[in-house]
Amino acid sequence: MSYLKKYDLPESAALYITDDPETARALRNAQEAVLIYLHEGNRGQDFSEFLYAVEDPEHIEPEFADRVYRRQKGLPWEILQTKRCIVRETIPEDVEDFFLIYSDPAITKYMEGLYPDREQEKEYIREYIEKVYTFYEYGIWTVLEKSGGAVIGRAGFACREGYEEPELGFIIARPWQRQGYAEEVCRAVLNYGWEALGFPCVQAMVEPRNEASLKLCGKLGFRETGLVNLQGKPHIRLLASLGGGGGK
């Protein structure tokens, strides 16, 4: 007798838990969200096509169940909230707001811009969801203002080739600058990196002329370690040790 349980989520959503691959495939084909239950009796069966599995289906955290459901339904994860903001995964629908934000030359002065075509950027985000969010369960996220739901920027962690430490990245749109949003969001993101992701240390790469970002990194507990060359430009490499004062 195979195991099958329906885990009820808010708003009539449901996550099905099963230990049988055929049942799991049938549920997935019916566009249901599926979580695999692994135990000694099914260790030899192939569940490699499924994203998530547990060994104790009777004690699942609601947040975990919600995230498993959302990933399979193509819905963004909410990462965290601050006093004034919500940080969630980026979705293709954010692209129109990104184009408005990045149209300000001051925004792209020290960072890469978007693809020239909106559909290219949306396709990039779709691939990012599949290959970065799904694999690492972190990345660069979208920042929204709580009061009106406006997209006001981006923040999160990136992986830079050649470096072990995840890298903090952030951008706040011009109308919301000089109001403490960047510090509020980045401080919360760093805390999330320590508490939820277990990062002991995070780096930041900042061009020497970018005084605003250097000042913010100083407030967040980063220390300068020297100059590095990135894409032909000098950058100051900074490090923050999380959990021991940095990011707090």
pLDDT tens track of the chain, all 248 residues? Answer: 689 999 999 999 999 999 999 999 999 999 999 999 999 999 899 999 999 999 999 999 999 999 999 999 999 999 999 999 999 999 999 999 999 999 999 999 988 899 999 999 999 999 999 999 999 999 999 999 999 999 999 999 999 999 999 999 999 999 999 999 999 999 999 999 999 999 999 999 999 999 999 999 999 999 999 999 998 999 999 999 998 544 54
Residue 226: what residue type?
G
Closest CA to 228 of 163, 139, 166: 163
First to last CA, the chain: 51
* Orientation angle between helical segments 211-219 and 181-195, nearest 10 degrees: 50
Q: Are residues 39 and 91 in the same domain?
A: no
Q: Are residues 107 and 193 in the same domain?
A: yes
Predicted local distance difference test score (pLDDT) of residue 243: 80
Q: Are residues 192 and 94 in the same domain?
A: yes
Q: Which segments within 44-196 are labelled E, that is strand?
A: 53-54, 78-81, 85-88, 140-145, 151-158, 167-172
Q: Please indicate, yes or no, if residue 246 is contained in any of the structural domains.
A: no
Q: Are residues 210 and 95 in the same domain?
A: yes
Q: Are residues 85 and 17 in the same domain?
A: no
The domain boundary, picked from 25, 45, 73, lies at: 73
CATH code: domain of residue 222 = 3.40.630.30
Report the distance separating Cα 98 and Cα 128, nearest Å.
15
The domain boundary, picked from 17, 51, 73, lies at: 73
Predicted local distance difference test score (pLDDT) of residue 248: 46
Q: Are residues 46 and 83 in the same domain?
A: no
pTM of the model: 0.92
Q: Are residues 164 and 122 in the same domain?
A: yes
Give the domain range for residue 67: 4-73
Residue 83: what residue type?
K
Note whether 155 and 185 are within 8 A (CB): yes
Q: Please indicate, yes or no, if residue 154 is contained in any of the structural domains.
A: yes
Predicted local distance difference test score (pLDDT) of residue 245: 46
**Tokens linked to 44:** 């030899």
Which residues have CB under 8 Å from 34's CB, separation 6+? 15, 16, 17, 18, 24, 27, 28, 50, 72
Let me know the angle formed at the C-alpha of 140 by 135 and 144, rounded to the nearest 5 degrees.
125
Q: Are residues 48 and 112 in the same domain?
A: no
Query: From the centroid of its chain, how far is CA 227?
Result: 28
How many domains would you assign to the chain? 2
Predicted local distance difference test score (pLDDT) of residue 244: 54
Q: Are residues 32 and 151 in the same domain?
A: no
Q: Please indicate, yes or no, if residue 247 is contained in any of the structural domains.
A: no
The domain boundary, picked from 32, 48, 73, lies at: 73
Q: Are residues 85 and 53 in the same domain?
A: no
DSSP per-residue codes, 15-70: EEEES-HHHHHHHHHTT-EEEEE--GGGTTS--TT-S-EES-TTS--HHHHHHHHH
**Tokens linked to 91:** 């979705």
Q: Are residues 69 and 125 in the same domain?
A: no
Q: Is 142 in a helix, a strand, or coil?
A: strand
